[in-house]
Structure 1
């Protein structure tokens, strides 16, 4: 311990000397020294930091003045079969080999390569399996694998299930609901009769743990690879049924997901269906805010169509993770779109640049704009950011902290943050932008939500206390978005 303390002291003195010797020292060198100090002063040396943040959250997080009472959620729903990814591949007699990404899976070999590719990066991904009969054989093997578990699946159903944990909230779920899914859903969830179907849609969730090995691939962090042959969700078949049910249900918030499921159905289908989706979403009354939950996509043309067909501008809020945010920028030639992927924890300044671009390009930052998008909820493993156009949302400091807190508790399978099971991985020092002019910011554990402004957009950042041995990662992003929405309050516009 004393050796590390000595190294920290020497580096700190060196940094001070270098800066005073040459105040114009390149930012990247000073940033390297700062980050090195952060790493050396790791949470393990000061376990109280997680406790300080957790306690600060409890004081900070407060319910909004006006809560939602009725939330309608649609339209992707299924049964998740959760199984060990390495274990299932071994049960399928697959041999380890090099990884390779595939936009669509056509065979067991494609599955093995894609799983290996993403496992080696510790990244989440979702793919469509084109062969129905082959998928059913794999699904049977997964369901019969020792330790396999069946859960509520699909972003809409998972968000609905999370919202239903609040007893004063009535939740409508519209999607392809089969017998098993109906059995798994919370009793508080209302399912329109038109949503019920005779068979379930199954999604296979191949999980892996941090440090787990498969051939030459070693997972840097726990995550999962999802695949399915899901036609009902793939065509968003229940979208019109969902919108039609809103008139009777009278929600004060609509949560929409499932657009990513259409990607694997082929260009001819999604081009036409996307236009129909825009018409359906436009039929939702203007006074009802709409949150769109994005998910993993690989087809840049499809993402461009989502932007060009005016999906983003006609929703009020969007939820996404680091891969989805970067892909959005790549498809729209936005900031930092030259990056092939994030290098470790996404740089806060770069994330901030892309979030601002999304709101300026597709949102209502301009008072003359007819767009509705005013809120983006970004989440990555180490931290979350809520970016909102001023004057449209309140209680966002509580909302981003609540989302970070639920990431800690749900991953560890506990009701309250257990500081012995989590670690702080968020940067302690960061910038409001990757380019000049930019503001230098620091994370204060006693006041763990950092706030900054760029034009008329406000950014709130909360660190995440990352679960060191997560029990389940599926649905974590959906829980984060749901919790963030529960603590958010929309400002009614005149």
Structure 2
């Protein structure tokens, strides 16, 4: 110890002498020594950098997401299934010798010009859409060109088949899939999926998925975000020809949950067909046992009369749950004269308050938010690019926090083609501050990244919102909505009804 004291004294005398001879020298020496020495860590290690918002949300999901107390064992899914041919939209249209021009929506596509205009219309909005192509021969020529286009990919397609595939990734689940299943589709299905022999057919139905990337440009049209445009000439799915086979198979399969999709395919078949077929569909769906919940997956539609019939008189009152995106939600309220029906389209990220208003209206006017109502609808899983909301009538569903977070997590990973969320490949686009309603009275709400499910109530309806970590360079957008709804259902549970 005394040696150190002597050394310090000698250094002090030396520094004092140097200061008198050159007052600036000590500071220059100290700066030189400081710059030359390696940076030393404080005891206990360096302070960790605070996590980014994306890191905080991804970590919190891992903690929040927990399996429900009661899991589904057997899920029946129907009734639309096909083979998807995924191809560059701009590339295919160019291969068809089409020139860029102005966009225009068409409820039904009658030729290549209609296809081009509708594609440009939705590409400019960055919105998903699906249309029926009326000319079988022209569609087959387009389908051949798509299949032969460099880089074209073939996948399982159709909402029911995609939901079935996602559900079957859970080893404890047995999945029944009923739809027009051709030989190519059958070979691609998961081994855990049971296909009734009556739904097998000799020819596959093909759907063409025209994808575009964020920022992609064709002529004067530029895509604000990645998405896709779907077209088909699909009579089997369009007529929901396997619906009765599906319902008949439930008695033997005895599912815990029924997932129904494909209603949107009937829209392109003409009013005479869908009016009669919708009545038959309602009768068939009504035969499902009361204790088995039914989830309906909606998809893009353009006929307001058809959507209004589904909304008010036919299907929505007899299902327990629905899944839909921002385009379908807005079209529902426009068709039924609900809140914000005068809104022509969403401007960027859909306003949470407006979405909340429409979801509440659906559950109050067409669901069972009123305990005296005879409707069965008690759950809506809404998904848009930046965030998801799960709205449920109190007392009917459990594990909502896990369900909405699981749906958002799978959207973040699957869009990037990964099994897990990679925070280097995603970005947060959701608003962190928003209102529970667009009009008064409204509550100011905040998303806390460390607890990224925000909950609020309006009457006896609970809302659970979580952000999505949006993939910066998505590899595939088709089927994301189906994967989201499937994952949300896997983590959801029905609250047992009290014994009377």
TM-score, normalized by length of structure 2?
Answer: 0.89
Structure 1 residues 46 and 468: CA distance shift in structure 2, 3 A: farther
Alignment of 1:464-475 (within 5 A): 464-475=468-479
- Residues 388 and 468 of structure 2 are in contact (CA less than 8 Å); yes or no, is this contact kept in structure 1? yes
Alignment of 1:426 onto 2:430:
yes
Query: Which residue of 174, 179, 194 maps to 2:183?
Result: 179
Measure the CA separation in 2 of the matches of 1:490 and 1:316.
10
Alignment of 1:408 onto 2:412:
yes
Measure the CA separation in 2 of the matches of 1:231 and 1:465.
37
Measure the CA separation in 1 of the matches of 2:289 and 2:406.
28
Alignment of 1:325 onto 2:350:
no
Measure the CA separation in 2 of the matches of 1:488 and 1:307.
24
Give the C-alpha shift of residue 370 in structure 1: 1.0
Measure the CA separation in 2 of the matches of 1:307 and 1:329.
9
- Residues 279 and 314 of structure 2 are in contact (CA less than 8 Å); yes or no, is this contact kept in structure 1? no
Query: Which residue of 287, 290, 294 maps to 1:286?
Result: 290
Match of 2:11 in 1: none
Moved over 6 A (4+): none
Match of 1:268 in 2: 272
User: Structure 2: where are the runs of 5+ without partners?
Assistant: 1-48
Alignment of 1:382 onto 2:414:
no
What is the CA deviation profile of residues 417-470 of structure 1, one whole-angstrom value per residue up to 9, with x for unaligned ones? 100000000001000000111000011000000000000000000000000000
TM-score, normalized by length of structure 1?
Answer: 0.90
Match of 2:158 in 1: 154
Alignment of 1:230-245 (within 5 A): 230-245=234-249
Give the C-alpha shift of residue 309 in structure 1: 2.6
Match of 2:67 in 1: 63
Measure the CA separation in 1 of the matches of 2:496 and 2:309.
30
Measure the CA separation in 2 of the matches of 1:174 and 1:144.
29
Query: Which residue of 95, 100, 117 maps to 1:96?
Result: 100
How many aligned positions are there?
450
Measure the CA separation in 2 of the matches of 1:333 and 1:115.
28
Query: Bigger shift: 46-55 or 363-372?
Result: 46-55
Match of 1:246 in 2: 250
Measure the CA separation in 2 of the matches of 1:252 and 1:138.
41
What is the CA deviation profile of residues 371-426 of structure 1, one whole-angstrom value per residue up to 9, with x for unaligned ones? 11000000000000000000000000100000000000000011111000000000
* Matched position secondary structure for 1:472: coil
Give the C-alpha shift of residue 307 in structure 1: 1.9
Query: Which residue of 102, 127, 130 maps to 1:123?
Result: 127
User: Structure 1: where are the runs of 5+ without partners?
Assistant: 1-44
- Residues 312 and 366 of structure 2 are in contact (CA less than 8 Å); yes or no, is this contact kept in structure 1? no
Alignment of 1:305 onto 2:309:
yes
Measure the CA separation in 1 of the matches of 2:103 and 2:463.
37
Structure with greater Cα Rg: 2
What is the CA deviation profile of residues 460-494 of structure 1, one whole-angstrom value per residue up to 9, with x for unaligned ones? 00000000000000000000000000000001213
Measure the CA separation in 2 of the matches of 1:295 and 1:367.
28
- Residues 278 and 314 of structure 2 are in contact (CA less than 8 Å); yes or no, is this contact kept in structure 1? no
Match of 1:360 in 2: 364
Match of 2:375 in 1: 371
Give the C-alpha shift of residue 367 in structure 1: 1.2
Match of 1:168 in 2: 172
Measure the CA separation in 2 of the matches of 1:277 and 1:428.
42
Alignment of 1:491 onto 2:478:
no
- Residues 275 and 309 of structure 1 are in contact (CA less than 8 Å); yes or no, is this contact kept in structure 2? no
Measure the CA separation in 2 of the matches of 1:66 and 1:464.
26
Match of 2:140 in 1: 136
* Matched position secondary structure for 2:390: strand
- Residues 204 and 227 of structure 1 are in contact (CA less than 8 Å); yes or no, is this contact kept in structure 2? yes
